[in-house]
Structure 1
Amino acid sequence: MGLVYLRELNTETKFALWRIEETAEELLGKLQLDEREKAKLESLTKGKRRLHWLATRVLLRFLLKTEEYINCPSDEHGKPYLPDYPYNISLTHSYDFAGVLMSTQGPCGIDLEIIKEKIVRIKEKFMKPRELAFIQNENIDQMYACWCAKEAVYKLQGNKGVSFLEDMTILPFQYRPQGVMTLLLRKDKKTHSFQVYYEQFQEYMLAYVVSD
């Protein structure tokens, strides 16, 4: 099916979601890979992990509007980047979908998760008591919005040295199917504030954030 959602947040930032219905061979046929990437692909177990990796690269090609080779390495912390383009990027995937966020505004993060009741069992592992206090009637969707928001900020700041529970705090917000929340990140003895946008997409939760 391919592209199912494309949204331009402003002139500097956009994201897209891709429904994965192709085989690995079909996705691979849309790409050009160097030896390093071929080795990376071979290291992935067959199935969803390989499909996710391929689909994010196909979607990246679509957003960059090029048929040329795209160099997309990852740094020592696993954060992907584009040395040949002026964009900051973030990648995500969950079950049948892959997503890409790109921005020239600043570092960015995106997360997509399928909504399941299991999050109730782990809520204390990533949310403080004062955060759980504003969850409305143990609203699973709201919990997923909080999880995705923390994951998006984690990706934005570089995939390193940050605890969802200890270093991130979400301020109280009224849950709606689409909205924004404020997340405070404590890092390097400083507090950073982020406006994280979230929305329900089919049976998934999506969150994205861009730093000024």
Structure 2
Amino acid sequence: MSFYKSIVINETTTAYFWEITEDFNVLFRQVTLKDISLARLEKMKSESHQKGFLAVRMLLQHIGYSDFDLYYDEFGKPHLKNTKEELHISISHSFDFSSICISKSKPIGIDIEIVKPKILKIAPRFMDISHLKDLSEPDKIRKATIIWGIKESIFKIKNEKGISFPKHIFENPFCSITETNCTAELRFNNTKEEFDIQYYQLEDYIFVCALPK
């Protein structure tokens, strides 16, 4: 078992993390998959993606659910069924970590990303790079990773065709990357929606969680 930790986001929302230390066969033997999930797993070309997929199912089993409780809608958004109350779920995985977040109150979006220098090369494609001004190189990398996670998390909540990271999702400026929260806005189709953002460092990874205000 490689359950890593849980983080309480608020009184109705908790995130769970699995550190992937097992090889593929160990994970595969410990999960029960429905046929559609097994077919999806077999189509994955990367073992890293396969292990991330299985680790998500390990997390579901860890908190009392299973792959049979998880389904995806026509837009690819995950949902839980067979529950006594309406629950919202979001899923993310990156290299050695998988995460799920369960909310009893609001739609939720999460993203986990490894902190890597190459984020700065693509930063101009998804963010206002003036938000990295006057930071050291390591802090620029970390902040750009946080901002990517903010945009990815909001996109997972809305999941609408046509949403652009640089054109429609805007993080409100936050001066210090040692903070753990900020706010952001989605401006799309002549409407504006606000989101509360929380972010955390986990080993060499950044975890970001978005909730509608």
TM-score for both structures, normalised by structure 2: 0.90
User: Match of 2:75, SS?
Assistant: coil
1:187 is matched with which residue? Answer: 188
Mapping for residues 118-197 of structure 1, pairs under 5 Å: 118-128=118-128, 132-138=129-135, 139-158=140-159, 160-197=161-198
Give aligned pairs, total: 207
Query: Does the 8 A contact of 1:105 with 1:210 survive in 2?
Result: no
1:76 is matched with which residue? Answer: 74
Which amino acid counterpart does residue 119 of structure 1 have in structure 2? I
Query: Does the 8 A contact of 1:89 with 1:100 survive in 2?
Result: yes
Provide the rounded CA distance (Å) in 2 between the counterparts of 1:76 and 1:137.
43
In the TM superposition, what is the alpha-carbon distance from 1:104 to its structure 2 partner?
A: 1.1
Does 1:115 find its partner at 2:112? no
In the TM superposition, what is the alpha-carbon distance from 1:46 to its structure 2 partner?
A: 4.5
User: Match of 1:89, SS?
Assistant: strand
1:32 is matched with which residue? Answer: 32
Q: Deviations over 1:29-75 (max 9, x none)?
A: 22221211111111112410110111011112212x24x66321211
2:41 is matched with which residue? Answer: 41
> Over aligned residue pairs, what C-alpha RMSD do you find?
1.7
User: Match of 1:169, SS?
Assistant: strand
Query: Does the 8 A contact of 1:182 with 1:195 survive in 2?
Result: yes
Query: Does the 8 A contact of 2:57 with 2:67 survive in 1?
Result: no
- Of stretches 2-11 and 14-23 in structure 1, the one that deviates more from structure 2 is 2-11
Q: Deviations over 1:90-126 (max 9, x none)?
A: 1111111101111011110110111111111111100
Query: Does the 8 A contact of 2:182 with 2:198 survive in 1?
Result: yes
Q: Deviation above 6 Å: which 4+ runs of structure 1?
A: none
- Of stretches 189-198 and 176-185 in structure 1, the one that deviates more from structure 2 is 176-185
Which amino acid counterpart does residue 115 of structure 1 have in structure 2? V
Query: Does the 8 A contact of 2:193 with 2:212 survive in 1?
Result: no
Provide the rounded CA distance (Å) in 2 between the counterparts of 1:24 and 1:150.
31
Provide the rounded CA distance (Å) in 1 between the counterparts of 2:58 and 2:160.
23
Which amino acid counterpart does residue 107 of structure 1 have in structure 2? P
Query: Does the 8 A contact of 2:34 with 2:68 survive in 1?
Result: no
Instruction: Evaluate the alpha carbon distance shift between residue 69 and residue 171 of structure 1 in structure 2; reply closer, same or farther with a 3 A threshold.
Output: closer
Query: Does the 8 A contact of 2:77 with 2:156 survive in 1?
Result: yes
Provide the rounded CA distance (Å) in 2 between the counterparts of 1:195 and 1:81.
21
Unaligned runs of 5+ in 2: none
Query: Does the 8 A contact of 2:91 with 2:101 survive in 1?
Result: yes
Instruction: Evaluate the alpha carbon distance shift between residue 134 and residue 37 of structure 1 in structure 2; reply closer, same or farther with a 3 A threshold.
Output: closer
User: Match of 2:159, SS?
Assistant: coil
Provide the rounded CA distance (Å) in 2 between the counterparts of 1:127 and 1:57.
33
Query: Does the 8 A contact of 1:87 with 1:103 survive in 2?
Result: yes
User: Match of 1:81, SS?
Assistant: strand
